[in-house]
Amino acid sequence: DGVANQIAAGEVVGRPASVVKELMENSVDAGSRTITVNYKDGGRSLIQVVDDGCGMSETDARLAFERHATSKIRRAEDLYQLASFGFRGEALPSVASVAEVELRTRTADREIGTQVVIHGGRFVSQEPVQTAVGTQFLVKNLFYNTPARRRFLKEANVEGRHIRSEFLRVALCNPEVAFSLYDNDVLIATLPASNLRQRIVSAIGGKDIAKNLLEVGADTSIVRIEGFVGRPSAAKKTNREQYLFVNGRYFSSPYFRKAILQAYEKLIAPDTQPSYFLYLTIDPQRIDVNVHPQKTEIKFDDEQAVWQIFNAAVRESLGRLGVVPMM
């Protein structure tokens, strides 16, 4: 139902960057090795995501726009696995209800692909098309049929900044996938498939980052923590290099941030910020992400225990440096 989809769109699609995130995550889920994103006018006029993943059959391509038509809940145990990623089968129908969407896709066992066109949630056409194996989404004129929401969009440079930050978050979670990002057809980022350390280096850039990353690791019955923190001597004036991920998705947590900052206490000047890229793996039953699909906060059952594990893991890797406190 069109209205239900538009309402759901209000939940899932806050701005162009949320479309980019949903499409990129779908491409990752489809087993892609290479994902290319292009946007124009801050994503207002165009968002394009091209992947070389498994593609969709003719039937699946059409069904993908039906609500709750997720292919990702096949078994009962998937249901709780996927609970950790929030809403299921909402993204495509939501996006399609507030934009002009073209999907081109082909599976490896077909010579010819299929193209589905949907405008404002209304099916326009489906026809055969020559296309590479994988999937290509074109999302044009976002919110063209919901003028109030279109007016709420910020200027292109602001929306573009949000897109770039979502792009980085997804890329930082999937180092084994190659990503490219174009702004108005101009290549602005290219990240080759690599290991996690290399991905952080190429995603964040800067000449010194490679030698400033210290490995962090903790493996407890509650949570596994992997990743890197920056050397105290490389602390920044900004908090732009602070990333937390849980089960392969970005999240924000002022509470765990403190666990990390506290480990740096007396090692860095009070007005500087450590870099961190920390990846948690936890039983999805021990967290609650169903707060809101656009929100990045997550509730942890064992919040205090996880805080301690964080703090200890970061302390341990800083301790290996044998740095003498500054004050």
70 binds ligand ADP (CB under 6 A): yes
**DSSP letters along 249-277, please?**
EEE--HHHHHHHHHHHTTTS-TT-B--EE
Given CA atoms 73, 297, 200, 25 in this order, what sign does their dihedral have? positive
86 binds ligand ADP (CB under 6 A): no
Q: Which two tokens stand for residue 116?
A: 């589905």
Of the candidate spans 19-27, 203-211, 232-240, 283-291, the one that interacts with ligand ADP by CB under 6 A turns out to be: 19-27
Of the candidate spans 50-58, 209-217, 226-234, 256-264, the one that interacts with ligand ADP by CB under 6 A turns out to be: 50-58
CA distance 143 to 41: 13
170 binds, among ligand ADP, Mg ion, none (CB under 5 to 8 A by kind): none
Out of 42, 53, 120, 293, name the contact with ligand ADP by CB under 6 A: 53
- Give bridge partners of residue 116 from the DSSP assignment: 103, 126
71 binds ligand ADP (CB under 6 A): yes
83 binds ligand ADP (CB under 6 A): no
Of the candidate spans 12-20, 26-34, 131-139, 236-244, the one that interacts with Mg ion by CB under 5 A turns out to be: 26-34
Out of 42, 89, 121, 227, name the contact with ligand ADP by CB under 6 A: 89
CA distance 203 to 178: 11
Out of 8, 91, 173, 280, name the contact with Mg ion by CB under 5 A: 91
Out of 5, 6, 26, 242, name the contact with Mg ion by CB under 5 A: 26
Look up residue 149 and give its DSSP letter.
H
- Give bridge partners of residue 115 from the DSSP assignment: 104, 127
CA distance 73 to 314: 36
- Quick check: 301 and 286 in contact, CB under 8 A? yes
Binding residues for ligand ADP, per CB under 6 A? 22, 26-27, 30, 51, 53-56, 64, 69-72, 88-92, 135
